[in-house]
């Protein structure tokens, strides 16, 4: 399965976002990971659909929008119309509203012709989202608690990556993207890929790298 590298613009300089996007594309990245935080589901506030709209014309790379927000359904329209290629919502944010909210949100994303994903925090069992795998293009396994870049990778989350990949294969979903997000480095990438993840988010590892193109190659090899 092709390994895709998704630098997270959370670690970029927000005052020079256009340049950051161009450098990311020039370095050979496969996706641009956009971390959307609302100050409620997670403590910080980052940006909303307007940022996605503004960076859309600057790159051909798919925009991978990771919504760390409450009530995600209310924002899908804005991100879809802004040009998001993938929109991922959190299991926990959906579950606290109702049992059917996650499925409804995934279907809403798909109704715009946009790919959809579900994200789980380190304290959520992956089995909880097995029932929505058939609706998803991507499953995002958080390897840190969401909210901040630059945290340390939680190695126990690799077990969930393995379970997710096994379940996807067993259920005939060989093409399902499994994304890992948080604390990915040049050093732990091999173990992450061996566990079955094929989309690697890299915030600090990419934006603090002295040679971002080399970092992308190492993460993707
Ligand atoms: C954390 C975000 C991540 C973060 C990754 O809440 O979802 O995407 O930016 O940053 P690093 O790679 O520095 O852990
Ligand atoms: Zn993210």
Task: Give the distance, in angstroms, between the CA of residue 201 and the centroid of all CA atoms in the same chain.
Answer: 7
Q: Kindly list the domain boundaries of the chain, sorted by start residue.
A: 4-220
The CB of 146 under 6 Å from ligand 1? The reply is yes
Compute the distance between CA of residue 21 and CA of residue 136 in angstroms, rounded to an integer: 26
Q: 121-143: per-residue pLDDT in tens? A: 999 999 999 999 999 999 999 99
Q: What is the pLDDT of residue 158?
A: 98
- Ligand 2 centre and the CA of 186: distance in Å? 18
Q: Give the model's confidence band at 51: pLDDT under 50 very low, under 70 low, under 90 confident, else very high.
A: very high
Q: What is the pLDDT of residue 104?
A: 98
Q: 32-50: per-residue pLDDT in tens? A: 999 999 999 999 999 999 9
Helix (H, G, I), strand (E, B) or coil at 181: strand
The CB of 12 under 6 Å from ligand 1? The reply is no
- Among residues 13, 30, 35, 38, the one annotated as catalytic is 35
* Mean of pLDDT values over 60-87: 98
Q: 152-183: per-residue pLDDT in tens? A: 999 999 999 999 999 999 999 999 999 999 99
**Residues 6 or more apart whose Cβ sits within 8 Å of residue 164:** 126, 133, 139, 141, 178, 196
Fold of 4-220: TIM Barrel (3.20.20)
Torsions phi, psi for 64 (to 5 deg) = -100, 100
Among the bound ligands, the one closest to the CA of 200: 1
Q: What is the pLDDT of residue 191?
A: 98
Compute the distance between CA of residue 175 and CA of residue 1 in angstroms, rounded to an integer: 8
**Quick one: tokens of 19?**
């340049």
Compute the distance between CA of residue 142 and CA of residue 147 in angstroms, rounded to an integer: 11
Q: What is the pLDDT of residue 172?
A: 97
The CB of 35 under 6 Å from ligand 1? The reply is yes
Among the bound ligands, the one closest to the CA of 37: 1
Mean pLDDT of the chain: 98
Assess contact for 20 and 207: CB atoms under 8 A: yes
Nearest CA-CA partner of 157 in 130, 127, 125, 128: 125
């Amino acid at each position: 399965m092709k390994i895709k590298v998704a630098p997270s613009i959370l670690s970029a300089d927000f005052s020079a976002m256009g340049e950051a996007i161009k450098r990311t594309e020039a370095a050979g990245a496969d996706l641009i990971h956009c971390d959307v935080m609302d100050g409620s589901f997670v403590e910080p506030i980052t940006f909303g659909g307007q940022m996605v709209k503004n960076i859309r014309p600057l790159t051909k790379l798919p925009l991978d929008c990771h919504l760390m927000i409450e009530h995600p359904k209310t924002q899908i329209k804005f991100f879809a119309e802004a040009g998001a290629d993938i929109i991922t919502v959190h299991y926990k944010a959906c579950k606290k509203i109702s049992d059917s909210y996650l499925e409804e949100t995934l279907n809403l994303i798909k109704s715009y012709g946009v790919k959809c994903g579900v994200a789980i925090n380190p304290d959520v069992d992956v089995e909880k989202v097995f029932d929505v795998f058939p609706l998803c293009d991507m499953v995002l396994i958080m390897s840190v608690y969401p909210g901040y870049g630059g945290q340390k990778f939680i190695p126990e989350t690799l077990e969930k990556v393995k379970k997710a990949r096994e379940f996807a294969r067993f259920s005939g979903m060989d093409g399902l993207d499994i994304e890992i997000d948080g604390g990915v480095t040049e050093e732990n990438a091999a173990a992450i890929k061996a566990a079955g993840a094929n989309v690697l988010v890299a915030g600090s590892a990419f934006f603090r790298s002295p040679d971002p193109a080399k970092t992308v190659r190492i993460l993707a090899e």
